[in-house]
Amino acid sequence: MNTQKLNIAMLSLHSSPMGPIGTQDTGGMSVYVRELSRWLGARGHRIDIFTCAGDGASEVELYPRVRLIHLVHLGGRLGTGPSKADLPARLPRVFEALDSYKRSHRRHYSLIHSHYWLSGVVGCMAREQWKCPHVTTFHTLAARKNRDSSMENEPDLRLASERRIADRADRFIVPVQDESRFIEETYGAPRSKIHIIPGGVDLERFMPMDRCAARRQLNLPEDAFLILYVGRFAPLKRVDRLVSAVARLRSQGRKVQLVLVGGDDPGTPSRQALEAAASRLQLEDAVHFAGRVAQEALPAYYNAADVMVLPSDYESFGLVLLEALACGTPVAATRVGVAPQIVEEGINGTLLASNRVSDLVSGIAGMMRTKRAAVDRLRSTVTPYGWPGIADAVVDVYVSVNTNGTDPALTEPI
């Protein structure tokens, strides 16, 4: 294991790792940034996470050696919490605030790790000014969203910015091979700078428990086949199709229930649209909206379920797949994120042919016919994804860029 201790500026600008996870702009990336930072801190590295989201204290210590810094508080320069839509125009000012924090607190960073394109843009500015390596994780790519989902139309500004980041960053961390090929072919990122490291899972939190006890705890029926969805209600997640699939399964006489965890608050358009769909299909008794559930309380939901379904058009990481399997619950997913890598057909789940309602129905019906494998066998398919090992793999990338800077300018003292 590498013993070099690093000071890392972690940029998570549009979404706070302590934000309301499960809502529109706060999902897997927040969990990723929080867990990665926690484990980096545990390994002795120092991490300053910078965000413009939320309205918490200007600076808080989240874990040993891990600080969360709200840039919005800095001298009132940015006003209060720019929304994600306002951020692109304000990125130069965000960099000014970041730079001013670094100078006034006399911080020296070994490297910058940016998350999502908005942070990537600021990461490029910081790299240039601070002469400091820049590692980036896109989380999702605009060109891929636009290609893979008819529900998305990412703007040219994001596309152009991602191209620029691909041209300038020192290292790219992507979760799967597929995404590596895509940023190489579409954005021209050099293969030698791309590292494939999947997302992680907290194997101590996401543990198997008794299924009946979990259902009793959550007040869920014990005699139905329980389908679970966990995540945001973003259009590309295709939760609407899952609701339609449940209606069709019930019309075939199958006793299924659907639990939806996450999503925006009651009264928001995304939530209302799903409630209206459930009501139109007369599923009021079959679809349960659990709302946003804190990570600590999620294991009971995964454990209560017979299958966790992820019908998305596109995912980069797909953390919920790892979490479900860590609890010993099989999954049914489209070929997104880590799914093709971890799903062992008929053992820990199934890869859906597509997210058309008919394919969701046949995939879930197939799972209903398959004898469930032993919980330990299911869990064993994701034990290599525990956060400590994933964080170590990320450190290897940091060290590679920190010691042999790709640009002579990077060796200058900061």
> In the β-sheet with 194-196, what is the strand arrangement from edge to edge?
59-63, 66-70, 46-51, 7-11, 111-115, 134-137, 171-174, 194-196
Residue nearest to ligand UDP (CB): 27
- What secondary structure, in 3-state letters, does 230-271 show? ECCCCHHHCHHHHHHHHHHHHHCCCCEEEEEECCCCCCCHHH
Question: Residue 413: exposed, middle, or buried by beta-carbon count in 10 A (0-12, 13-18, 19+)?
Answer: exposed
- Whichever of 17 and 27 has its CB closer to ligand UDP, that residue is 27
DSSP 346: T
120 counts as binding ligand UDP under rule CB under 6 A: no
Binding region for ligand UDP (CB under 6 A) out of 26-34, 60-68, 72-80, 247-255: 26-34
Q: Minimum distance between the CB of residue 235 and ligand UDP, rounded to whole angstroms?
A: 12
| Dihedral angle sign, alpha carbons of residues 44, 14, 322, 327 | positive
Query: Which residues in the 344-383 window bind ligand UDP by CB under 6 A?
Result: none
Q: How far apart are CA 394 and CA 117, in angstroms?
A: 19
Rule CB under 6 A: which of 157-216 touch ligand UDP?
none
Residue in 10, 320, 331, 390 binding ligand UDP, rule: CB under 6 A:
320
Residue 293 touches ligand UDP, criterion: CB under 6 A: yes
231 is an interface residue for ligand UDP by CB under 6 A: yes
The CB-of-285 to ligand UDP minimum distance in angstroms stands at 22
Spell out the residues 6+ positions from residue 311 whose beta carbon is closer than 8 angstroms to its own: 237, 238, 239, 241, 242, 245, 333, 334, 352, 355, 360
- Span of 95-103, 182-190, 314-322, 361-369 interacting with ligand UDP by CB under 6 A: 314-322
Q: Which is nearer to ligand UDP, 97 or 230 (CB)?
A: 230
3-state DSSP assignment of residue 305: coil
Of positions 19, 27, 123, 328, contacts ligand UDP by CB under 6 A: 27
Q: How far is the CB of 133 from ligand UDP (least distance, A)?
A: 25
242 binds ligand UDP (CB under 6 A): no
261 binds ligand UDP (CB under 6 A): yes
Tell me the two tokens of residue 251.
């019309």
Please tell me whether residue 140 adopts helix, strand or coil conformation.
Answer: coil
Q: Which is nearer to ligand UDP, 125 or 333 (CB)?
A: 333
Q: How far is residue 20 CA from its own chain's centroid?
A: 13
Binding site for ligand UDP (CB under 6 A): 21-22, 27-29, 31, 230-232, 261-262, 292-293, 295, 298, 315, 317-320, 323
